[in-house]
């Protein structure tokens, strides 16, 4: 009789689905949160790339820029980054020139949110990018991304991108 009770208990399939669900639920929730976090990280990476390309492109189209132009440029970059908080982003726009001795130096720089060098600082550009007597616009965006659920796994991390463009209408863009 005793063996019969054990066999009946082993053969009983009531509650199996609930048990399997209870075992799989944490894994499925982890996959859901992971998908959301990876999706957000990919989206902000794309926005950072779009913002840096926008900054370099708009600056390279000018012949001269002033404080108003730079402020408008930073606002355009903030618009690209939306809906993510702009306070987590740092923008740097600089014009790099050849100092006449074959050295690449910063001619002018504007930054929002920290960072950037000073005029006269040496810069390393990719080989062949800077032509004699010319300049290169260098735009950089760094975004400090804090995942919604990521504090449990990775914590905050920086996503950054850099763009290089030669001025289109002049050899060097003047900062007024």
More confident residue, 121 or 1: 121
Are 37 and 147 contacting, i.e. CB atoms less than 8 angstroms apart? Answer: yes
Pairing of strands 64-65, 174-175: parallel
Say what the pTM is. 0.83
pLDDT reported for residue 21: 86
Residue by residue, DSSP assigns 39-106 as: HHHHHHHHHHHHHHHHHHHHHHT-SEE-HHHHHHHHHHHHHHHTTS-GGGEEEEEEEEEE-SSS-EEE
Q: Mean pLDDT, to the nearest integer, of 81-90?
A: 93
pLDDT tens, residue by residue, 62-85: 999 999 999 999 999 999 999 999
Distance CA 139, CA 161 (A): 8
Where are the domains positioned within the chain?
2-175
Average pLDDT, the chain: 90
Q: Mean pLDDT, to the nearest integer, of 83-105?
A: 92
């Amino acid at each position: 009789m005793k063996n019969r009770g054990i066999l009946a208990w082993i053969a009983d399939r009531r509650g199996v689905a609930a048990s399997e669900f209870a075992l799989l639920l944490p894994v499925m929730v982890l996959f859901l949160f992971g998908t959301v976090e990876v999706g957000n990280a990919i989206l902000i990476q794309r926005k950072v790339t779009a913002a840096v390309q926008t900054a370099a492109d708009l600056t390279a189209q000018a012949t001269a820029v002033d404080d108003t132009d730079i402020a408008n440029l930073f606002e355009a970059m903030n618009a690209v980054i939306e809906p993510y908080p702009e306070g987590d982003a740092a923008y740097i726009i600089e014009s790099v020139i050849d100092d006449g001795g074959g050295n690449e130096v910063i001619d002018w720089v504007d930054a929002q949110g920290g960072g950037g060098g000073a005029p006269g600082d040496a810069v390393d550009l990719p080989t062949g990018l800077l032509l004699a007597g010319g300049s290169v616009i260098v735009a950089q965006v760094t975004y400090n991304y804090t995942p919604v659920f990521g504090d449990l796994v990775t914590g905050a991390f920086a996503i950054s991108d850099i763009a290089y463009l030669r001025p289109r209408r002049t050899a060097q863009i003047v900062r007024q």
